[in-house]
Amino acid sequence: MATRQTRILAHAATAPSTLVLFLWMIVPLAMTIYFSLLRYSLLDPGNESFIGLVNYEYFLSDPAFFAALFNTLKLVGGVLLISVVGGILLALLLDQPCWGRGIVRLMVIAPFFVMPTVSALIWKNLLMHPVQGLFAWIANLLGLQPIDWFAQAPLTAITLIVAWQWLPFATLILLTAIQSLDEEQKEAAEMDGTPPLSFFFYIVLPHLARPITVVILIETIFLLNVFAEILVTTGGGPGNLTTNIPFLVYAQALLQFDVGGASAGGIIAVILANIVAIFLVRMIGRNLEA
Amino acid sequence: MARAHSLRRRTITTAACWLVGLVIFFPILWMAVTSFKTELEAVEIPPKFLFFDWTTENYGVVQERSNYLLFATNSILLSLGSTLVGLLFAIPAAWAMAFAPGKRTKDLLLWMLSTKMMPPVGALIPIYLLFRDLHLLNTRGGMIAVLFLLNLPIIIWMLFTYFKEIPGEILEAARMDGATLWREIVYVLAPMAVPGIASTVLLNVILAWNEAFWTLNLTTTDAAPLTVFIASYSSPEGLFWAKLSAASTLAIAPILVLGWFSQKQLVRGLTFGAVK
Amino acid sequence: MKLMLRALSGACVLAALAFPAAADTKLTIATVNNGDMIRMQRLADDFTSKNPDISLEWVTLEENVLRQKVTTDIATKGGQFDVLTIGTYEVPIWAKKGWLVPLDNLGAAYDVDDLLPAIRSGLSLDGTLYAAPFYGESSMVMYRKDLFEKAGLTMPDAPSWDFIAEAARKITDPSGGVYGICLRGKAGWGENMAFLTATANSFGARWFDENWKPQFDQPEWKNTLAFYTQLMKDAGPPGASSNGFNENLALFNSGRCGMWIDATVAASFVTNPKESKVADKVGFALAPDNGLGKRGNWLWAWSLAVPAGSQKTDAAQKFIAWATGKDYLKLVAEKEGWANVPPGTRTSLYENPDYQKAAPFAKMTLDSINSADPTKPTVKPVPYVGVQFVAIPEFQGLGTQVGQLFSAALSGDTTVDQALQSAQAIATREMTKAGYIK
């Protein structure tokens, strides 16, 4: 039971972070809400005028809006699935004794070090290109028709690239968590001859519940904002197949330089992100307690 | 018997580890190999894996064209600086949330994460205007502040998760023994939290290192990190794969070294933690 | 935090002290990372040694990032740059806003009349020059002489689209890894739409009529898009819907394309034996036409301008006069040979016999540039300026949206009719929102 004194201490300890984050959130948010109600083009400064909710109307009625919404969800879902499942498997593997474990770990973490634009360019041009990419060459060696990634399955291709970048994040967090699992517990299970599968499902997985939740929540926040990879590989095409919400906002902000429209898009994106977050917390949030 | 068994097992897991590791690492390896090719060889099919004229020409060009050291110094200062400031704020906060949780702790955590929900492009103009008026454009201080604020929620979350793993009874025992809060944190909490802190530092340094939206838009020269350096090597008109590969290899080299050290730290931290 | 900041600012002061005493005026120059600009950076010692009171600081970025930064900065009056590198798209828009300083102080030796007329008119507003061209480019056909010979074809200097289509289909040999024609397909206003808008001009199409009404419902656009998608289906490489300049350059250089229609700047890449397998087999021709009086080539000039509000206007103009003047061309020729001189800006360059000898593509580049007219880009009259773009602020966003639709028509995700219908709807919507259509 926390005493009065510790509670005061706890408040004092969280206050600085809360305060700076509050400022960092509220000032841009207030400005963005204000701008979203204006007709405000960066290319036409000085002529701002109040237009109410028109910017929201245009953003929501954009023919690409619903496609973008679903693409965003598909991208987030796909990457989460690959990185969490892959991350658990990798963490289990890397926890095993093996020679050169340090180097292997570094190799697995390394994709996280590469800047998103660079890894997207490398994947698109050196690996996935249907004529001169390495994958096409391998397919030809095997006598198969090379996949035209960015025409046949553009969103899948982008999901793969992004998942490759985020797999290390999940792996590293889960690996650290597995390592904190009691050595004794592991040894005891081995002594008892507990079958590995039930050891995994009854001991390891419950132990990983909280870290997995954290991985999902943090990755979701980042994945909702993916757009550099899309810009350099497909430019949102073909059609709307790879357009997501951040890409729409990008088009408003940095192609049209329509600050009003971009602000409205930003606010809508925040609302959608909140809905997704509430949903996630409902599903897995209880893992955060205890 | 047992030894033979474990030797066999070790061989199998070693093979599996290396196989998986190499598959995941392959694109980076390929990038590094490409950086030693000419632009023509870089796009040639069938690809050449080892037997081509290895050339360091691309590195020469990169070195001649831009002041790599300035960019690298900025990257190191910005990513380490922002992570360090972040830790100063986050350790007490995460400590309090993990060991003296109140009714609102979970909400507070989720709210902190929600500060990251705004798509950066949506907030670019407001932040740009603020920075212009505060004279923070293109300054290291301004960039450290931005990266610190961007990553603070992540740092708190990760530390919170790791602190939660530490059994609270140990801390209470220390408190019973009359340890002050400071001693409690330094002598009891910190050693057990080392692996968690190490991986938090590593991940956040990387996040700051690769942050390519704000660093590109708010800096020009003096405070520009390696993301800006990279942005001068990709181009919509001009084939620069080999040079881009060389520049990217240079850009991840310092952080790869850091990764090597901190992953050793992760393992060492584990043995500390085991002595409970 | 405070301590940290103090330590950092201390470090900054130390760093500043470590450098030699700064010159009087420091110019911050924002520029794109194209080969010619990087060469200028390398040769800039020539300028600073002649002007010891001016020092230069470079911000070199890829084109899209640069455009974002420069636009944000100039629109918010951030004042981070003294010299900007911008294109023919921005100059008319920004000059009209009063964001650029008129270049009236370039010096007597500058010889403004030597600038190519098409380029000069693209960079002027009401007869006043607002940006000085550093290099200009158009687009043209690059083709493989050996493949044409093998197929028994001869490329005319000024081919028609029908000939191009026929030749492309004849040359195509997928089993041998050769595709008749490589064209841009990646969505974006500066990607596939640059090519398609220029091509549409030669088919008699236009973006808007005189009342800013979008024209995608007209037969000319349908002809353009149907021709393009069918040609690419029959004779284009796989993956065309995400190919941009770089992807096509790589394909052409590794001998995969019979023809490639793209920027004239590519000529120096495809003829460079260090980068291209087919360096000695490339021929050039004008961009094709349909006999309607307009060719399908574009016009672009990377140019240097001074933002209004800069405190260093005189020094900035001095620098611009150096970088775009005749002496700079000579300097490059001396140091790196005539073939590396930035092309497409000055008449005198194309009259220079040394240059004609060193650059086999010189004549074709000049003819291409001269045949494009940004003030009268289309067969039918239009209310806008610009060949492969429409010089209005809304075009980047609109062009990108339409580009996505057209790349879907290319990949086969939608039909040509659907793509045009959606394009018409989107263009009408955006133009209404922006207030062009009342």
User: Is residue A42 assigned to a domain?
Assistant: no
Residues in chain B with pLDDT values less than 70: 1-5, 236-239, 265-276
pLDDT band at C4 (very low <50, low <70, confident <90, very high): very low
At C435, list the tokens. 């207030």
User: Is residue C393 assigned to a domain?
Assistant: yes
Distance between CA C378 and CA C201 in Å, rounded?
A: 5
Last residue of a domain, one of C341, C358, C375: C358
| Residues in chain C within 8 Å Cβ distance of B239 | 246, 249-250, 253, 269, 275
User: Is residue B25 assigned to a domain?
Assistant: no
Q: Is C251–A44 a contact, with Cβ atoms under 8 angstroms apart?
A: no
The packing angle between helices C192-202 and C219-235, to 10°, is 120
pLDDT reported for residue C150: 94
Indicate if C15 and C57 belong to the same structural domain: yes
| Residue of chain B whose alpha carbon sits nearest to that of C274 | B40
User: Is residue B4 assigned to a domain?
Assistant: no
Indicate if C63 and C133 belong to the same structural domain: yes
Instruction: ipTM value, please give it.
Output: 0.87
pLDDT tens figures, C223-278: 999 999 999 999 999 989 989 998 899 899 999 999 999 998 888 889 888 888 99
Indicate if C354 and C213 belong to the same structural domain: no
Q: Is C425–A236 a contact, with Cβ atoms under 8 angstroms apart?
A: no
User: Is residue C373 assigned to a domain?
Assistant: no
Coil, helix or strand for A2?
coil
pLDDT > 90 fraction of chain A, expressed in percent and rounded: 45
CA end-to-end span of chain A, whole Å?
13
At C262, list the tokens. 């793209």
pLDDT tens figures, C61-94: 888 888 888 988 888 888 889 999 999 999 999 9
Based on the structure, what is the number of domains in chain B? 1
At B103, list the tokens. 């009714």
Indicate if C204 and C244 belong to the same structural domain: yes
What is the average pLDDT across C142-163? Answer: 95
Of the candidates B9, B27, B213, which has its C-beta nearest A127's C-beta? B27
Q: Is C77–B132 a contact, with Cβ atoms under 8 angstroms apart?
A: yes
Establish how many alpha carbons lie within 13 A of residue A253's alpha carbon, considering only the half-sphere containing its beta carbon: 28
pLDDT reported for residue B266: 62
Coil, helix or strand for C285?
strand
Contact of C388 with C294, CB cutoff 8 Å: no
Query: For testing the chain C interface, which of A255, A257, A258, A259 should be mutated: the one with the most C CBs within 10 Å?
Result: A255
pLDDT reported for residue C43: 92
Q: Is C242–A254 a contact, with Cβ atoms under 8 angstroms apart?
A: no
Q: Give Cα B133 distance to the centre of its chain.
A: 30
Indicate if C402 and C272 belong to the same structural domain: yes
At C167, list the tokens. 């030749």
Based on the structure, what is the number of domains in chain C? 2
The residue type of B183 is R
Q: Supply the mean pLDDT for chain C.
A: 89
pLDDT tens figures, C314-346: 999 999 999 999 999 999 999 988 888 998 899
User: Is residue A171 assigned to a domain?
Assistant: yes
pLDDT reported for residue B239: 64
Which chains does B contact via 3+ CB–CB distances below 8 A? A, C
Of the candidates A109, A176, A265, which has its C-beta nearest B122's C-beta? A265
| Residue of chain B whose alpha carbon sits nearest to that of A255 | B121
List the domain range (segments joined by +) for residue C66.
Answer: 2-137+299-358
What is the average pLDDT across A121-146? Answer: 89
* Cβ–Cβ contact B64 with C under 8 A: yes
At B40, list the tokens. 């023509």
* CATH number of the domain bearing residue A109: 1.10.3720.10
| Residue of chain B whose alpha carbon sits nearest to that of C34 | B238
Of the candidates A20, A116, A225, which has its C-beta nearest B210's C-beta? A116
Of the candidates A2, A118, A246, which has its C-beta nearest B230's C-beta? A118
| Residues in chain A within 8 Å Cβ distance of B21 | 103-105, 107-108
Q: Name the residue with higher pLDDT: C323 or A201.
A: C323
* Cβ–Cβ contact B70 with A under 8 A: no
Distance between CA A83 and CA A86 in Å, rounded?
A: 5
* CATH number of the domain bearing residue C344: 3.40.190.10
pLDDT reported for residue C3: 45
The residue type of C76 is T
pLDDT reported for residue C10: 46
At C60, list the tokens. 């070199």
At C281, list the tokens. 């087999």
Report the predicted TM-score, pTM, of the whole model to 2 decimal places: 0.88
| Residues in chain C within 8 Å Cβ distance of A43 | 71, 75, 93, 97, 393
* CATH number of the domain bearing residue B74: 1.10.3720.10
Is the pLDDT assigned to residue C216 strictly greater than 80?
yes
pLDDT tens figures, A212-242: 998 999 999 999 999 889 988 888 878 889 9
Of the candidates C41, C245, C274, which has its C-beta nearest B236's C-beta? C245
List the domain range (segments joined by +) for residue A137.
Answer: 65-242
Indicate if C254 and C185 belong to the same structural domain: yes
Based on the structure, what is the number of domains in chain A? 1
Is the pLDDT assigned to residue C15 strictly greater than 70?
no
* Cβ–Cβ contact B174 with A under 8 A: no
Is the pLDDT assigned to residue A261 strictly greater than 60?
yes
Is the pLDDT assigned to residue C148 strictly greater than 80?
yes
| Residue of chain A whose alpha carbon sits nearest to that of B11 | A98
User: Is residue B29 assigned to a domain?
Assistant: no
pLDDT reported for residue B46: 80
Coil, helix or strand for A155?
helix
At B38, list the tokens. 């000419």
List the domain range (segments joined by +) for residue B247.
Answer: 61-274
Indicate if C403 and C321 belong to the same structural domain: no
User: Is residue B40 assigned to a domain?
Assistant: no
At C102, list the tokens. 């008129």
